[in-house]
């Protein structure tokens, strides 16, 4: 090894005040994957990816809501508002795309379960304050695992559909704030995003 890295440093670093320094190989940290705690449930005990076995879980009514924003800019916003985008009705197409996206979640996210959804809805509202489309996706089921990813997919795919419908009019469009807003049901209980002041009041 000396041929590559040179002579090892002396153990006594003069002037540094450090004496009798010894080194040890770092020990691998023991991580708690999965289980009933707050570990990574999609990771096995040895770190491999896995699909979670939800067989022992109880069936319960579960809902989730997610949101995102599509920043259009004034020119494109005005076109969408007046329904003058060349491809057609932006909001209607995006709503259908979001619902379809939620139904295909397990095909796109490898470790998601194939859930029998009981309800999916997508709301799109035009926000004239920042020239955006505010999107909310809601998913529900009666099952053993949650629908957070389905709600996130509904909002995200609707946002992408808005982008696709409008991209010919501007390349500056961007999607932001893709996030879970709430979830109910299941062992972990209910959760709601804490509302903070982020500018103009959302239409949701």
Enumerate the active-site residues.
164
The string of DSSP codes covering 86-134 is: TT--HHHHHHHHHHHHHHTHHHHSTT-----EEEEEEEEEEETTTTEEE
- Decide: helix, strand or coil at residue 26: coil
- Decide: helix, strand or coil at residue 194: coil
| Cβ burial 74-92 (10 Å sphere, 16+ → b, else e) | eebbebbeeeebeeeebbe
Nearest CA-CA partner of 59 in 142, 117, 115? 142
Report the alpha-carbon distance of residue 139 to residue 153 in Å, rounded: 10
Q: How is residue 191 written in tokens?
A: 């959760």
DSSP 8: P
The dihedral sign for the CA sequence 141, 144, 146, 151: negative
- The answer to whether 147 and 23 have CB atoms below 8 angstroms apart is no
Count Cβ atoms below 10 Å from residue 16 Cβ, excluding itself. Answer: 8
């Amino acid at each position: 090894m000396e041929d590559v890295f040179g002579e090892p440093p002396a153990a006594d670093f003069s002037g540094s005040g450090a004496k009798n320094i010894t080194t040890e190989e770092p020990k691998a940290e023991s991580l708690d994957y999965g289980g009933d705690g707050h570990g990574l449930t999609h990771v096995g005990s040895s770190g491999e990816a896995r699909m979670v076995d939800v067989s022992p879980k109880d069936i319960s009514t579960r809902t989730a809501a997610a949101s995102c924003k599509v920043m259009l800019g004034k020119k494109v916003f005005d076109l969408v508002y007046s329904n003058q985008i060349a491809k057609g009705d932006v909001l209607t197409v995006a709503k259908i795309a979001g619902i379809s996206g939620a139904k295909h979640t397990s095909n796109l996210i490898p470790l998601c379960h194939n859930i029998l959804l009981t309800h999916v809805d997508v709301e799109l509202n035009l926000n004239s304050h920042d020239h955006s489309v505010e999107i909310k996706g809601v998913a529900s089921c009666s099952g053993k695992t949650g629908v957070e990813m389905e709600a996130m997919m509904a909002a995200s795919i609707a946002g992408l559909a808005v982008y696709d419908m409008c991209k010919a009019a501007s390349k500056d469009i961007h999607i932001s704030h893709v996030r879970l807003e709430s979830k109910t049901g299941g062992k972990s209980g209910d959760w709601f995003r804490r509302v903070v002041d982020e500018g103009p009041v959302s239409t949701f």
